[in-house]
Chain A
Amino acid sequence: MKVELYNYIRAAQKMSRRQMLKGTAALGAAAMIPKAAMADGHSNVRAEILKIPGVGAGSPTDSDWQKVGEMCLGATRENVAEGEFEGVELTFMGLNNQNLHNFLFRGFLKPWEAYTGAKINWIDLAQADYNARLQQSIATGTVDFDIIEMGAPFEGDVLGKGLASEMPDWVKDQIDMDDYVDYLKAPVGTWDGKTYRVSIDGDCHSFAYRKDYFGEGGIGGAEVPTTWQEINQVSKDLIGKEDPLTGLPAHGYLDPLKGWGGFGFYFLENRASAYAKHPNSPAWLFEPETMKPMVNNPAWVQAIQDVMDLIEAGAYPTDQINADPGTTAFQQFLAGTGSMLMWWGDVGSSARTSDTSVVGDVVGFGVNPASDRVYNAQTSAWEETRNEAPNMAYIGWGVYVMATVEGDEKKKKAAWSAAAHLGGKDLSLWASAYPSGFQPYRNSHFQFEEWEEAGYDRAYVEDYLGSNADSYNHPNAAIEPRIPGIFQYYSVAEDELAKGYAGQYGSAQETADAIAAAWEKITDQIGRDSQIAVYKASLGM
């Protein structure tokens, strides 16, 4: 769970002494359960770990992570004998964001190390250094880690180059991959039909809107817009009206018009996915046979045109040309400017937990808006049917074992056992319920009664997580292409879009053509044939 969300719930629920004592008693009882009993009593484990340290009992610490790691060792015990990995040393590369990620992994894996006898060395990286460190390791052939925490967009760079180790079948059984939400199932995490990824996180963009703009007498209309056509119309209609909350000018949808190191392109994708992601094909960014960019086809041009129309109409707040996604979410939407936004789960959690948010009581969530029509790239024609395609932006973090362990069966089994422990079904429930930096990503994480029993406010959890669950399991979810250099494509597109939005190109088509030309150059530079191969592999074609 995101830290902000946890803090909010902790503050909002104002734990009573009785509740606290209940949690403490449960914890005490859990500590007294013999290890064997814990392993056997699997059904109890989920309920018991959710009481560590107990909702509202302060942020979990290293000793809590270790306790959870210890209690979730049951699956490891079934596959690994005690002391089996004596003498094995592994290196784990991951992030140190917000003192989470690797910090949790250390705690979770400490009991695993004690049980198996293996030793883990850690490479902690800041998010900003991560991409460069990974790319340099790959490019210079200096992969000095055995296990890596990595986002799926990099799978093209790593799996496509054969740098990772294929997941053994016993790991698949241990982590129960069938429980993953639909979009995290193959082809995500797989390459050429082989599985590589232990998922530990889920990611998607979902729709956030201001309830006070919509409904009977609302300035935005009676109904919340559900299509991009409606969103653009509402945004234009709101020009000149007054925000019901702040008294400042009212605004509709907030598009970030400034780049964000490549991440800004996801936000044009939100609009484009509804037009461009036809249910008949998983491809919506490149043509799989040629790697010819689709970004200048009528669907994408329409998405760019929608943004340009709103610029032309003056529907955005002042200086929107200088607003990146960080601005639209945290300085605009959460602070009461604008009424509609697409973002990751952070907005959902921060809306009610951040001190600077004023929209906590009036925010609602939904899936990525649809379109009244969809472009069929195979027939090169628009189809007048409603199309919905949630954008699975970034796909979430996973744990991968590198090919450095190949050739040493003991080391390989140790690495996979560590990865499986971190991506275990029970442990992941704890990680999705407490501050960890990870979102729920298994169907079993959406059993709201478990959350309720653990002491959470069910209505809130259901409202916020529900939109995520709907997006994750959507049959037409737009999945990111996991090809090498994907962020290069996004970054150069941001530069060209910035020019287009500033009026330096004659039209949306010209802007899209410039992006396509730049993408062609990148494809040629990285190698067209290899890109085609990895693109098709990443789409499972």
Chain B
Amino acid sequence: MSSEGDLLHTVTADDISDGRKRLGKAMVWGSATLVAVLALWQMAFETGRVAAGFDTWRPILYAYILWAIALCAAQVIVNGEKGKRTLFVLPAALFVISLVVFPLLFALYISFTDWNLASPNGPQPNGWDNMREMWNDGFYWNALKNMMYYVLAVSVEYVIAFGLALLLNAQIRARKFFRVVFLLPLMLSPVAVSWMIGKSMLEVRFGPISRVIREFGGEPSFFGTPEIARFMIMAMDAWTFIPFMMIMLLAGLQALPKEILEASRVDGASGWQSFKEVIFPLMLPVSVTAVVIRIIFKLKLADIIINVTSGGPGGATDSVTSFIFREYRDRSNVGYGTLLAMVYLVLIVIFITLLLKLVSRWMERPA
């Protein structure tokens, strides 16, 4: 038994012979070679370089599964007890790789092809054409511009959510009742919100809200002009998701150390002063988390727009996701749609990274 290393977690002695180690390695490399050879062969077959090949890529998938099994088995064969520990995680990791990394790579390939499902030629690589088209695509840039407005609206949502969280944190009557009521919108599907509010309550002719406005002599129009339409989409989305921020902030408020608040009161701080100097700074880490998660949600905004305005009037409410949805579903434009999605993914990663860097200084709890 080894007398070095992690002795605490070692329960059996592993005396692994060189032959066993070689077998394990041979299993892994052998099966990996099989996958590589089959994949290369099939690729050559599909591109017409060799005459014989499989009808589908399924045999390569089976080879990959064989490799995965060999890799898992080899952990135990080569590393013994230590390998068994790896085995707790490895299948899950391989599963994730299969379902995330492979599709991502495939998507990357697709995004540089001109694949339109209606085209008889299937996907053909077209270099940077899709990128150039995106560069000149007014609809995409318009959608990105709209996303800026939508993301900026998160700041207003944050203020409202913070206010509601403070209210629910205070000693008010029927506090539990209000907590449940305020959470209800979050429990509704955005699609239901689109129909119940966007297409029913705000319906120009029958909608109760329209009727009230008409009663007061107004002429209701909720989606007629770009600004109002965008605002209405923001409002519906906010109504659904403010409770989410609120509940996070409320949890943060309840976790605040009571002594500090009491100390500030003893020191004679007014309500506003204790909020400004104590509560708000202490809540910053929670706030940043809530805002960042909310922004990530916001960047995916599509369902309400698709249902209520289809991006109109004239693209004023279009989001990147709803535009990509149209490219995909209505136009079967898989190559270009995938490129748009990939670019959007990169933009989101860059944006969120910068955002986190920017706010990281506030994430530190004040001493």
Which residues of the partner chain A approach B223 to less than 8 Å between Cβ atoms? 319, 321-322
Query: How far, in Å, is A536 (CB) from chain B's closest CB?
Result: 16
A217 interface residue (CB < 8 Å to B): no
Contact check: which of A135, A261, A502 meets B117 at CB < 8 Å?
A135
Q: Is the CB of A503 within 8 A of B224?
A: no
| CB closest chain-A residue, reference B121 | A527
Which residues of the partner chain B approach A501 to less than 8 Å between Cβ atoms? 313-314
Contact check: which of B120, B331, B334 meets A484 at CB < 8 Å?
B120
Q: How far does the alpha carbon of A119 sit from the alpha carbon of B91 in the complex, in Å? A: 42
Q: How far does the alpha carbon of A484 sit from the alpha carbon of B220 in the complex, in Å? A: 42
Query: How far, in Å, is A214 (CB) from chain B's closest CB?
Result: 22
Contact check: which of B118, B133, B203 meets A526 at CB < 8 Å?
B118
Q: Which of A57-71 contact B (CB under 8 A)?
A: none
Q: Is the CB of A261 within 8 A of B205?
A: no
Which residues of the partner chain B approach A378 to less than 8 Å between Cβ atoms? none
A487 interface residue (CB < 8 Å to B): yes
Query: How far, in Å, is B258 (CB) from chain A's closest CB?
Result: 51
Contact with A along B91-135 (1 / 0, CB 8 A): 000000000000000000000001111111110000000000100
Q: How far does the alpha carbon of A331 sit from the alpha carbon of B310 in the complex, in Å? A: 17
Q: Is the CB of A498 within 8 A of B315?
A: yes
Q: Is the CB of B204 within 8 A of A318?
A: yes
| CB closest chain-B residue, reference A514 | B138
Which residues of the partner chain B approach A332 to less than 8 Å between Cβ atoms? 205
Q: Is the CB of B118 within 8 A of A485?
A: yes
Q: Is the CB of A319 within 8 A of B204?
A: yes
Which residues of the partner chain B approach A248 to less than 8 Å between Cβ atoms? 205
User: Which residue of B115, B117, B122, B329 has the most chain A CB atoms within 10 A of its CB atom?
Assistant: B117
Query: How far, in Å, is B303 (CB) from chain A's closest CB?
Result: 14
Known contacts A319-B223, A526-B116, A526-B118: A503-B314 contact under CB 8 Å: yes
B333 interface residue (CB < 8 Å to A): yes
| CB closest chain-A residue, reference B330 | A491
Known contacts A317-B204, A318-B204: A527-B309 contact under CB 8 Å: no
Which residues of the partner chain B approach A260 to less than 8 Å between Cβ atoms? 310
Q: How far does the alpha carbon of A337 sit from the alpha carbon of B223 in the complex, in Å? A: 18
B21 interface residue (CB < 8 Å to A): no
Q: Is the CB of A319 within 8 A of B224?
A: yes
| CB closest chain-B residue, reference A332 | B205
Q: How far does the alpha carbon of A331 sit from the alpha carbon of B207 in the complex, in Å? A: 11
B206 interface residue (CB < 8 Å to A): yes
User: For this complex, into which size category does the number of interface residues on chain B fall?
Assistant: 35 or more
Q: Which of B310-354 contact A (CB under 8 A)?
A: 310-316, 326, 329-334
B80 interface residue (CB < 8 Å to A): no
Contact with B along A236-253 (1 / 0, CB 8 A): 000000000000100000
Q: Is the CB of A488 within 8 A of B316?
A: no
B285 interface residue (CB < 8 Å to A): no
Contact check: which of B133, B312, B334 meets A498 at CB < 8 Å?
B312
Q: Is the CB of A132 within 8 A of B329?
A: yes
B360 interface residue (CB < 8 Å to A): no
B275 interface residue (CB < 8 Å to A): no
Q: How far does the alpha carbon of A526 sit from the alpha carbon of B114 in the complex, in Å? A: 9
Q: How far does the alpha carbon of A329 sit from the alpha carbon of B70 in the complex, in Å? A: 62
Q: Is the CB of B117 within 8 A of A139?
A: yes
Q: How far does the alpha carbon of A324 sit from the alpha carbon of B306 in the complex, in Å? A: 12
Q: How far does the alpha carbon of A492 sit from the alpha carbon of B139 in the complex, in Å? A: 11
Q: How far does the alpha carbon of A132 sit from the alpha carbon of B204 in the complex, in Å? A: 33
Q: How far does the alpha carbon of A424 sit from the alpha carbon of B214 in the complex, in Å? A: 55
Q: Is the CB of B116 within 8 A of A259?
A: no
A258 interface residue (CB < 8 Å to B): yes
Q: Is the CB of A498 within 8 A of B311?
A: yes
Q: How far does the alpha carbon of A503 sit from the alpha carbon of B225 in the complex, in Å? A: 11
| CB closest chain-A residue, reference B315 | A499
Contact with B along A402-446 (1 / 0, CB 8 A): 000000000000000000000000000000000000000000000
A504 interface residue (CB < 8 Å to B): yes
User: Which residue of A132, A261, A317, A526 has the most chain B CB atoms within 10 A of its CB atom?
Assistant: A526
A136 interface residue (CB < 8 Å to B): yes
Query: How far, in Å, is B25 (CB) from chain A's closest CB?
Result: 38
Which residues of the partner chain B approach A182 to less than 8 Å between Cβ atoms? none
Q: How far does the alpha carbon of A536 sit from the alpha carbon of B147 in the complex, in Å? A: 43
Q: Is the CB of B119 within 8 A of A527?
A: yes
Known contacts A139-B117, A157-B118, A259-B310: A335-B331 contact under CB 8 Å: no
Known contacts A485-B116, A488-B331: A317-B205 contact under CB 8 Å: yes
A530 interface residue (CB < 8 Å to B): yes
B281 interface residue (CB < 8 Å to A): no
Q: How far does the alpha carbon of A412 sit from the alpha carbon of B131 in the complex, in Å? A: 46
Q: Which of A505-537 contact B (CB under 8 A)?
A: 521-522, 525-527, 530
Known contacts A319-B221, A319-B223, A321-B312: A530-B120 contact under CB 8 Å: yes
Q: Which of A98-122 contact B (CB under 8 A)?
A: none
Q: Is the CB of B333 within 8 A of A488?
A: yes
Q: How far does the alpha carbon of A21 sit from the alpha carbon of B363 in the complex, in Å? A: 81
Q: Is the CB of B330 within 8 A of A488?
A: yes
Contact with B along A42-72 (1 / 0, CB 8 A): 0000000000000000000000000000000
B222 interface residue (CB < 8 Å to A): yes
Contact with A along B189-222 (1 / 0, CB 8 A): 0000000000000011110000000000001111
Contact check: which of B115, B219, B315 meets A318 at CB < 8 Å?
B219
| CB closest chain-B residue, reference A496 | B139
Contact check: which of A131, A318, A499 meets B221 at CB < 8 Å?
A318
B229 interface residue (CB < 8 Å to A): yes
A372 interface residue (CB < 8 Å to B): no
A495 interface residue (CB < 8 Å to B): yes
Known contacts A332-B205, A484-B120, A488-B118: A322-B330 contact under CB 8 Å: no
| CB closest chain-A residue, reference B331 | A488
Query: How far, in Å, is A191 (CB) from chain B's closest CB?
Result: 14
Known contacts A318-B220, A318-B224, A332-B205: A484-B118 contact under CB 8 Å: yes
Q: How far does the alpha carbon of A431 sit from the alpha carbon of B220 in the complex, in Å? A: 44
Known contacts A318-B221, A484-B119: A258-B310 contact under CB 8 Å: yes
Q: How far does the alpha carbon of A262 sit from the alpha carbon of B313 in the complex, in Å? A: 16
A138 interface residue (CB < 8 Å to B): yes
A386 interface residue (CB < 8 Å to B): no
User: Which residue of B220, B310, B333 has the most chain A CB atoms within 10 A of its CB atom?
Assistant: B310
What 4 new A-B contacts, CB under 8 Å, besides A321-B313, A322-B224? A135-B118, A259-B310, A526-B119, A527-B120
23 A-B pairs with CB atoms under 8 Å apart are A131-B329, A135-B118, A139-B118, A139-B122, A258-B310, A260-B310, A261-B329, A318-B219, A319-B221, A319-B224, A321-B314, A322-B229, A331-B203, A484-B118, A485-B118, A488-B333, A498-B310, A498-B311, A498-B315, A501-B313, A502-B314, A502-B316, A522-B116
- The 8 A-B residue pairs whose C-beta atoms are closest, nearest first, are A502-B314, A485-B118, A491-B330, A322-B223, A484-B118, A135-B117, A488-B331, A321-B313
